[in-house]
Amino acid sequence: MYQLNYNPPYDWNWMFGFLAGRAVNGIEIVTEEQYCRSFALGDHQGLLTLEPDEARCQLNVTLSEGLQPVAQEVLQRIRQLLDLDCQPHTILESLGELSAARPGLRLPGCMDTFEQSIRAILGQLVSVAMAAKLTSKLAQAFGEPLVENPEWFVFPTPQKLAALQPEQLKQLGMPLKRGEAIIHLAQLMVNGEFPLNSPVDVERGVKVLTTYPGIGRWTANYIALRGWQAKDVFLPDDYLIKQRFPGMTPAQIRRYAERWKPWRSYALLHIWYSDGWVPVN
């Protein structure tokens, strides 16, 4: 077992609830106390299990035998998934009253940027539950059974998805254009052209993502938020954000949000998940 330290406060109930709502059958199981998933890194694959120890401000990590040779890289991916390197007091001080209701919110990241980007595409114009269901269908149709535990699946590789025809993905219950977007993104990944890490200029990087077929501005920003774990992204044209800023245009909302630089991603989370928040002049 490994231990990863973090600085409190940390709202584990919220984080595990967020992950549970998006859990993919065959890939992830999330309870109130534990997160477990399959994962592959290169030729290595296995299961990882995460259990917070709030009294010690530690995350206990168990890796199956298949992941032991790449343990350090997997641990770093876990830190990215759960935003364990966050310095919360710096952010809380910057956000002020906006963060008062939920001081332990962290930015959910991901274990794999490619996987998260595919999941973002699958989540377009459908509910969170439907997105998880579609991702599960994709994993079970085109992923490999985990060697150690065949009842689990490993998320499909870019090579596997890049070789598909859009009609094969349409059969899972998605529009043809969405299947084409997934295949195109996978081909970019195979060719080494997809940005796995946050570029220096995140805004420019988001604009590049929107040039890919089937990726609009909201999806590109969501990839930046969770895939790159960019700290300073805001979505002024998001449906819920527009509800939180009645009477304001997206341009006005964008200007308002500049007060939260360089932590606008955290501001976005607080606005999304803090009931009753209203903007003040």
Which residues lie below 8 Å from residue 122, measured CB to CB, with a gap of 6+? 131, 134, 135, 138, 174, 178, 182
Q: What's the Cα-to-Cα distance from 169 to each of 16, 41, 161, 181, rounded to whole Å?
A: 30, 24, 9, 11
* H helices, E strands: number in the chain: 13, 7
What is the distance between the alpha carbons of residues 36 and 12, in angstroms, rounded to a whole number?
Answer: 15
Please compute, for residue 143, the number of CA atoms within 13 A of its CA located in the half-sphere on the CB side: 25
Output the six-digit token pair for 223: 């990839």
* Per annotation, catalytic residue among 43, 112, 237, 238: 238
**Any catalytic annotation for residue 112?**
no
Q: What's the Cα-to-Cα distance from 27 to each of 36, 41, 143, 177, 241, rounded to whole Å?
A: 8, 14, 10, 25, 31
Per-residue burial over 167-192, b = 16 or more CB atoms within 10 Å of its CB, e = otherwise: eebeebebeeebbbbbbbbbbbbbee
What is the distance between the alpha carbons of residues 86 and 4, in angstroms, rounded to a whole number?
Answer: 13
* Residue whose tokens read 């969405």: 178
DSSP label at 45?
E
Q: What's the Cα-to-Cα distance from 18 to each of 23, 33, 47, 83, 132, rounded to whole Å?
A: 9, 13, 20, 13, 12
Active site residues: 238
